[in-house]
Amino acid sequence: MYQNIKVLKSTRWLVSFIFLCFSFLVQSQIERVEPPNWWVGFEQDTLQLLVKGKAIGTYVPSIQKEGIRLIRATRADSPNYLFLDLLIARDAEPGTFDIEFKPKRGRTYSFSYELKQREQKPEDFKGFDSSDVVYLITPDRFANGTPENDAVKGLLETAVERSEDYGRHGGDIQGIIDHLDYIDSMGFTAVWSCPLLINDMPRSSYHGYAITDFYRVDPRFGSLEEYVELSNKAADRGIKLIMDQVANHCGNKHWWMEDLPFSDWLNFQEDYEQGLPLKTSNHKRTVNQDGYAAEYDRTLMSGGWFVSAMPDLNQRNPFMAKYIIQNSIWWVETLQLGGIRQDTYPYPDKDFMALWARDIMREYPNFNIVGEEWSDNPLLVGYWQDGAKNKDGYRSYLPSTMDFPIQTTFAEAFKESEKEWGKGLVKLYNALANDFYYTNPSSIMLFGDNHDMDRIHTQMGEEVALTRMAMAFVLTTPRIPQVYYGTEILMQNTDKPGDHGLIRTDFPGGWEGDTVNAFTGEGLTEAQRQMQDFMRKLLNFRKTSSAIHAGNTKHFAPHDGVYVLFRYDADQTVMLILNKNEAPTTLDLTRYAEMDINNKTFTNVVTGASRTLGTVLQLDGKGPIVLVHQKR
């Protein structure tokens, strides 16, 4: 009997060993299936799988699973790809199912694929809006929570050197998680991190915009599990997570660059494959709207590579288009996102971008997406917002875009003399007046600076009063405000204007041994502490201000170096005063009689002091004042 048991155990071991060997053979045959999993219950009931494996295009796939039907298998130009279109029934059950791949001769291989149950209803995905303030982080430069992952063996760039502006510094996802309490206490309600997906590039891989695998977190930032943890722990604090995505390009070390699926997977792919000089974009973004634009310029704008290290993806290829759309949805669902920021929005094929935004917003009706259109022309920015009455009939389906037009006026508005006609604050007044053109001004994102431009404190000549005025305007106007990390402590790049490495400098206190710690306040200068306190009080007031979230707006033309703007609703009136006068100034309040502020008690949001307004208000010096009157 004992011998029989030993034989039985030996047989079971042999069967298990054979099964493991067979499983390994299957996995080695199939290098990747993307998306790596999916969910039941989407509006769109089809799913397209990219299958990559040696000679997989010569295999015949099949699926035997109730509720799942293989409706099409498409061979690519490369024999190492198959694209499978699946129809997922409305009542399909979550779980795993096998996809079988049968060769012309030999063994049939099987791959197990998973459909998951969605964690929340589509309408419960709440996108960021004008009640939020977005904190923009360059993750490599924010905080190093896990020094052990600073260098990862096998990647092309392994050096970590904080003294190098364009090198890796070691910041990571855990660093953000570790300081969510700080972000929350400051009053931010959303976090936008520059891309956290892998950039396995030989240099300058820290910034994240040269992605080499759209489904893999960069191990130097952490793991997918940590990314999910960041989202969950942020949500526990009421903080939304915004993902920075890139539909226009990838890095030239992307895994598919050695074996492209189709001959038109990239723009100007033939030149690339023949080793010819690469055609880069002319960056003439106006061709998207310009009825006079030459086809040559249109093609070069959307088809030219952004830079030579970033291959331009051809979204006119339907498989590429589907790949990008599904990738975006996969990340929304995996991370339970509160929004997407789409990089270089005018550069991809604009018809594809409308399809991309439409498909995402159809699945998540209360979601939000902001697109980057770096233009100081409001006509170009407004063109991309959904609902715009464009002459060419184009509908973008994009809820939000970025307010570069107002941002570019800050330096002139705050630094120019008020004594010359048409100079100074009137430029800011006129810029805000352009809101008549926008479909939904309060859904546009406004900011003082970001990861691609000089920091606002540098733009303001390191004059604290001007920096405060710029940020007070950002936080009170009818917009979705975005604040770049470090603005709250007057971080600047004055020594190297335009230097991206310095613009994305390390946040003090994010690394062990830092002598200055902005998270705790240790070592900050008095000016930095006061700015941080100013921002904290204004941000936390804004969290519950109904007038700023969704109230009406009225502003009065600047006069004698003072610009006054009101946000108001039935419950509250907020009064923003921007004063450029160095000497004490008397503000005549009778100009604002229509706002019914006379004999009303207003409280200074920053100092907490209250006073009943009369006909004049004494302004002690240059800077912003934010006052609030609670009606009920």
Catalytic site residue from 244, 372, 373, 449: 372
Structural contact between residues 365 and 387, judged by C-beta atoms closer than 8 angstroms: no
Among 6-20, 27-41, 169-183, 597-611, the range scoring the smallest mean pLDDT is: 6-20
Q: Is residue 17 exposed (0-12), middle (13-18) or buried (19+ Cβ within 10 Å)?
A: exposed
Calculate the alpha carbon distances from 600 to 55, 175, 596, 613 in Å. Answer: 78, 46, 8, 6
- Cα of 23 vs its chain's centroid, Å: 39
pLDDT at 26 exceeding the cut of 80: no
pLDDT at 3 exceeding the cut of 50: no
Q: How far apart are CA 25 and CA 27, in angstroms?
A: 6
Counting residues of the chain whose pLDDT is more than 70, the rounded percentage is 96
* Element containing residue 327 per DSSP (H, E): helix 318-335
pLDDT tens digits, residue range 410-442?
999 999 999 999 999 999 999 999 999 999 999
**Strand runs labelled E in 42-104:** 46-53, 60-63, 68-75, 81-88, 95-102
CB atoms within 10 A of CB 199: 27
pLDDT at 9 exceeding the cut of 80: no
Query: Strand 445-447 to strand 480-484: parallel, antiparallel, or no bridges (unpaired)?
Result: parallel
- For residue 312, the 8-state DSSP code is B
Helix (H, G, I), strand (E, B) or coil at 508: coil
pLDDT tens digits, residue range 449-478?
999 999 999 999 999 999 999 999 999 999
- For residue 123, the 8-state DSSP code is G
pLDDT tens digits, residue range 366-380?
999 999 999 999 999
Q: Which two tokens stand for residue 484?
A: 């770049």
Q: Which two tokens stand for residue 468?
A: 């405060």
Q: Which two tokens stand for residue 379?
A: 């006509």
Q: Which two tokens stand for residue 63?
A: 């699926």
pLDDT for position 15: 40
pLDDT at 94 exceeding the cut of 80: yes
Going 262 to 268 to 274 to 278, the CA torsion angle's sign is negative
Asked if 372 is an active-site residue, the reply is yes
* Element containing residue 612 per DSSP (H, E): strand 610-612
Angle between helix 318-335 and 224-236 (nearest 10): 50
The full DSSP string for 245-282 is E-SSB--TT-GGGGS-SSTTSBTTHHHHHTTPPPPBP-
The full DSSP string for 215-226 is T-B-TTT--HHH
pLDDT for position 29: 80
pLDDT for position 105: 85
State which amino acid sits at residue 566.
F
pLDDT for position 21: 41
Helix (H, G, I), strand (E, B) or coil at 595: helix
pLDDT at 104 exceeding the cut of 90: no
pLDDT at 111 exceeding the cut of 50: yes
Q: For residue 75, what pLDDT band results from cuts at 50, 70 and 90?
A: very high
pLDDT tens digits, residue range 473-519?
999 999 999 999 999 999 999 999 999 999 999 999 999 999 999 99
Please write down the HEC assignment for all residues of 367-400: CCEEECCCCCCHHHHHHCCCCCCCCCCCCCCCCE
Give this prediction's pTM. 0.94
Q: How far apart are CA 589 and CA 108, in angstroms?
A: 83
* Element containing residue 379 per DSSP (H, E): helix 378-383
Q: How far apart are CA 83 and CA 426, in angstroms?
A: 57
Calculate the alpha carbon distances from 306 to 259, 288, 320, 497 in Å. Answer: 21, 16, 18, 22
The strand pairing partners of 242, in sequence order, are 192, 339
- For residue 289, the 8-state DSSP code is T
Q: Which strands sit side by side in the sheet containing 134-137, from one edge to the other? A: 400-401, 369-371, 339-342, 240-245, 190-193, 134-137, 480-484, 445-447
All structural domains of the chain: 23-118 (2.60.40.10), 134-544 (3.20.20.80), 552-630 (2.60.40.1180)
Q: For residue 306, what pLDDT band results from cuts at 50, 70 and 90?
A: very high
Q: For residue 12, what pLDDT band results from cuts at 50, 70 and 90?
A: very low
The strand pairing partners of 345, in sequence order, are none
Catalytic site residue from 129, 226, 312, 343: 343
Calculate the alpha carbon distances from 548 to 240, 410, 552 in Å. Answer: 19, 21, 8
Contacts of residue 530, Cβ cutoff 8 Å, sequence gap at least 6? 464
**Strand runs labelled E in 521-590:** 552-559, 562-568, 572-579, 585-588
